[in-house]
Amino acid sequence: MHTNKVLNESMPTDVQIIRSRAELLQSQHACFASVVAEREYLAFLEPPSLDDVIAFNRAQNERGMIAFQAVLGDRVVGWCDVRPALVEGFSHNGDLGMGIHAYFRSQGIGTRLIAATIDACWSSGLKRISLEVFSSNLPAIRLYEKVGFQTEVVKSRGRLLDGRYDNVHTMGLLHDG
């Protein structure tokens, strides 16, 4: 049983960054659902079913998805993945998605998670990683900039949710190696 007290007493050094494991997808789904429920950081307003997540991950893994999980024991508290493009002429590109459970933010876990993912992307031969982030998500934008992402496009009023507009930044990171 994981209570808020247990979560708050956990140290960020206890959190391990590992290659994603299928047996932890149920826990990752729960983490994803908690971030979706905040209605701030992800484009999803409802989480997909666990079965859909398992099917998506299976298909993406077959296509070369690079994925890591931040885990505390057997509990996923964050994830980061890059899905390589499949279209000829664009296969050097990948799209990044990530999230951290609210109780584990601002502890350096996101930095460790994205760094492991980026390193694996470059090792796999990718040359470009892109992502989209809402302008209101300043901590995420700062994280992305810290690891080298640059804003390429800003879609003004790209999202209208709960009566509020938010700009959408498209950011990119290039590897010249």
- Pair 127, 31: CB distance under 8 Å: no
- Pair 138, 41: CB distance under 8 Å: no
Q: What is the pTM of this model?
A: 0.89
In a domain, 77, yes or no: yes
pLDDT of 2 above 60 = no
Q: What is the pLDDT of residue 3?
A: 35
Average pLDDT estimate for 71-83:
96
Q: What is the pLDDT of residue 176?
A: 84
Residues 107-144: tens digit of each pLDDT: 999 999 999 999 999 999 999 999 999 999 999 999 99
Q: What is the pLDDT of residue 6?
A: 43
Q: What is the pLDDT of residue 8?
A: 46
In a domain, 64, yes or no: yes
In a domain, 137, yes or no: no
Rounded Cα–Cα distance for residues 118 and 173 (Å): 9
If one counts the domains in the chain, the total is 1
Residues 5-50: tens digit of each pLDDT: 444 444 556 999 999 999 999 999 999 999 999 999 999 999 999 9
What is the helix (H) or strand (E) element at residue 70, kind and residue range?
strand 66-72
> Distance of CA 101 to CAs 36, 65, 118, 146, Å?
10, 22, 20, 20
Average pLDDT estimate for 138-156:
97
Give the domain range for residue 12: 4-126
In a domain, 150, yes or no: no
In a domain, 177, yes or no: no
pLDDT category at 76 given cuts 50, 70, 90 is very high
pLDDT category at 62 given cuts 50, 70, 90 is confident
In a domain, 62, yes or no: yes
In a domain, 102, yes or no: yes
Comparing 7 with 88, the larger pLDDT belongs to 88
Q: How does the average pLDDT of the chain come out, rounded?
A: 91
Q: CATH number for the domain including 89?
A: 3.40.630.30
In sequence order, what DSSP letters do the residues of 90-103 get, joined into one string?
Answer: -TTEEEEEEEE-GG
Q: Nearest-CA neighbor of 56 among 89, 94, 75, 29?
A: 29
In a domain, 30, yes or no: yes
